[in-house]
């Protein structure tokens, strides 16, 4: 085989290798991503403190507070503005007031804090009607 044919054959083999290399899927390692677990659904439910009871409910989070048998306060809808594991920053949609919610690791206690006060609630199975009726006895 003359030199010119060897060169063309080598060039053809090289081009086939390049094309096949570009067509075959590559075994690249995926880019690592850091995801924060969205455990905001754990905020929903009934929470009780010494003289206060709250319900977090609804598709768009809604906060209702019961203070003994004296009153029911609808604080309104709120949205979570940031989530960092068990610490949530939130804001009421109507008033724009900011507050934070912090769940304990086991999800049994919820601390709500704003610029005026901090209250820690315990998760409960007691419904709002049961809570109010206990204070009306």
What pLDDT is attached to residue 42?
82
Domains of the chain: 40-135 (2.40.128.20)
Higher pLDDT, residue 109 or 59: 109
pLDDT confidence of 50, banded at 50, 70, 90? confident
What pLDDT is attached to residue 113?
95
**For all residues of the chain together, what is the average pLDDT?**
79
Query: Nearest Cα to 134, choosing from 64, 69, 71, 52?
Result: 69
Q: What is the mean pLDDT of residues 7-23?
A: 65
Looking at beta carbons, which pairs linking 123-127 to residues 24 or more positions away fall under 8 Å?
A: 123/45, 123/46, 123/47, 124/46, 124/47, 124/48, 124/53, 125/46, 126/46, 126/48, 126/53, 127/46
pLDDT confidence of 31, banded at 50, 70, 90? very low
Give phi and psi for 125, each to the nearest 5. Answer: -95, -5
pLDDT confidence of 32, banded at 50, 70, 90? very low
Q: Give the tens place of pLDDT for each residue, 60-92.
A: 788 988 887 678 889 899 999 998 888 999 999
β-pair type (118-124, 87-92):
unpaired
What pLDDT is attached to residue 101?
94
**Is the pLDDT assigned to residue 120 strictly greater than 90?**
yes
b/e for 87-126, b at 16 or more Cβ within 10 A? ebebebeeeeeebebbbeeeeeebbbeeeeeebebebeee
Radius of gyration of the chain from Cα atoms? 30
**Is the pLDDT assigned to residue 27 strictly greater than 90?**
no
Q: What percentage of residues in the chain have a pLDDT greater than 90?
A: 30
């Amino acid at each position: 085989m003359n030199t010119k044919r060897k060169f063309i054959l080598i060039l053809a083999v090289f081009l086939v290798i390049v094309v096949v290399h570009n067509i075959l899927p590559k075994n690249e390692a995926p880019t690592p991503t850091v995801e924060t677990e969205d455990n905001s659904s754990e905020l929903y439910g009934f929470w009780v403190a010494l003289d206060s009871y709250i319900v977090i409910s609804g598709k768009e989070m809604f906060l209702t507070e019961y203070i003994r048998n004296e009153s029911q306060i609808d604080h309104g809808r709120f949205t979570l503005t940031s989530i960092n594991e068990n610490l949530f920053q939130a804001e009421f949609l109507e008033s724009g007031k900011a507050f934070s919610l912090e769940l304990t690791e086991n999800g049994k206690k919820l601390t709500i804090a704003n610029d005026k006060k901090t209250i820690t609630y315990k998760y409960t199975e007691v419904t709002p009607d049961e809570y109010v009726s206990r204070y009306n006895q």
